[in-house]
Structures are given as C-alpha cells and as structure tokens.
Amino acid sequence: MAVTTNYKPKFDSNNVKDFGPARIEHRTAASELTQLGTYLMTFDGTEFSDPWTVQYEETIYVIEGQARFVVINGENEESLVGDPDELLVLPKGTTVQYGALPGTRLLLSIAPVNWRDAGV
C-alpha cells in the first residue's frame, strides 16, 4: 500500500474562511493528519469575533502582532494578551472571543481536528 503523505502542505485558497475580524486558513486540510489540525489566522481589524466555545484543545502561537482575546467564564471576562513568540493555550470548553491588532498573524493547532465528525 502506497502512502501519499503531504509533508509540506501548501497554501490553498479553498481552505481560507472569514472568521469575524480575521481570515483563517486550514493549512493541513489536504494532509493525512487525522487528529491534529494546523491553521494560520490573520487579523484585518480590531473587532472581536462572536463568542465561541472551543470543542477541542487549542494552542495559539503568536507569529507577529498582538493577540487580544476575551475569555468568558459565566459572568466574568478575562483579557488574554499574547505578544510575538508567546504561546496561548485554550482547554476544551473555553469560551473565547478572538481579537488582535491589525496585521497580527497566529499559528493555531487543534486536536481533535475532526471534532465535528466525532460528535464532540
């Protein structure tokens, strides 16, 4: 059986979606990864996304700019700021609003990437 692993996934505009004030690209969409998904996110504005409760474990590496998230826990809101070369962690079940300075670039990894199919 031949393995057709894509070791160096390339940009594909079909894998880019708008996400509130940002664009997010699922870079590993065409790879054979079944548990881990890697995304690149670029912010154009200073607004925040709608609140989202993550259904997976997520790490966010700040490539450039400044990430500015709001973590929501019931009635409490906490600011989470990430500067270049910092890693942010969002455990499964975290409710967050994603935001950043314009031009900010983030690398996101989530597991499991197939959370929708897994009935999570």
- The rounded Cα 86 to chain-centroid distance in angstroms is 14
pLDDT, one tens digit per residue, over 53-104 is 999 999 999 999 999 999 999 999 999 999 999 999 999 999 999 999 999 9
Phi and psi angles of residue 72, each rounded to the nearest 5 degrees, phi first: -110, 125
Res 120 pLDDT > 70: no
Is the per-residue pLDDT at 1 higher than 60? Answer: no
pTM of structure? 0.89
Domain boundaries, the chain: 16-111
- The CA distance from 80 to 67, in Å, is 8
The CATH classification number of 16-111 equals 2.60.120.10
Q: What is the DSSP string of 66-77?
A: -EEEEEEETTEE
- Tokens 């967050």 locate to 96
Cβ-based neighbours of 50, under 8 Å, separated by 6 or more? 20, 97
